[in-house]
Amino acid sequence: MSAREPANQPALRVGIIGCGAIAGNHVLAYRAQPQVEVVACLDADAERAEAFAAEHGIGTATTDLENFFAHDVDVVSVCTPHPTHEQLVLAAAAHGVHVLCEKPLAVDVPSAERMVAACREAGVRLGAVFQRRWWPAAQRIREALDDGTLGTPILGRVEVLLHRDTAYYTATPWRGTWATDGGGVLMTQAIHYLDLLQWYLGDVDLVMAAADTYRHGEHIEVEDTLVATLRFTNGAMGQLVASTALTPGLGLRVAVTGSTGATVGLLEYPEGTEAVNDVWAVPGAAALAPPVALLPDADLPSINAALAPFHTLQIAEFVTAVREGREPGVTGEDALRSLRTLAAVYAAVRSGRPERPDATGPDAIEHEGPGTGGAPR
Distances (CA, A) of 227 to 34, 118, 207, 312, 345: 43, 34, 10, 31, 9
Select 58 or 236, whichever has its Cβ closest to ligand NAD. 58
Give a three-class secondary structure readout of 145-211.
HHCCCCCCEEEEEEEEECECCHHHHHCCCCCCCHHHHCCCHHHHHHHHHHHHHHHHHCCEEEEEEEE
Select 80 or 263, whichever has its Cβ closest to ligand NAD. 80
To ligand NAD, the closest distance from the beta carbon of 31 in angstroms equals 18
By CB under 6 A, residue 19 contacts ligand NAD: yes
User: CA-CA-CA-CA torsion for 298, 303, 306, 307, nearest 10 degrees?
Assistant: 160
To ligand NAD, the closest distance from the beta carbon of 308 in angstroms equals 10
The residue within the footprint of ligand NAD, chosen from 73, 228, 266, 307 (CB under 6 A), is: 307
By CB under 6 A, residue 77 contacts ligand NAD: no
By CB under 6 A, residue 48 contacts ligand NAD: yes
Q: Which amino acid is at 352?
A: G
What mask, x for binding ligand NAD by CB under 6 A, covers residues 99 to 138?
---xx-------------------------x-x-------
Select 139 or 260, whichever has its Cβ closest to ligand NAD. 139
To ligand NAD, the closest distance from the beta carbon of 167 in angstroms equals 13
How remote is the C-alpha of 128 from its chain's centroid?
A: 7
Select 81 or 184, whichever has its Cβ closest to ligand NAD. 81
CB atoms within 10 A of CB 73: 25
Sheet holding 12-17, edge to edge: 60-62, 36-42, 12-17, 75-78, 98-101, 126-128
The residue within the footprint of ligand NAD, chosen from 1, 34, 44, 94 (CB under 6 A), is: 44
Contacts with ligand NAD by CB under 6 A lie at 17-23, 42-45, 48, 79-82, 84, 102-103, 129, 131, 172, 188, 304, 307
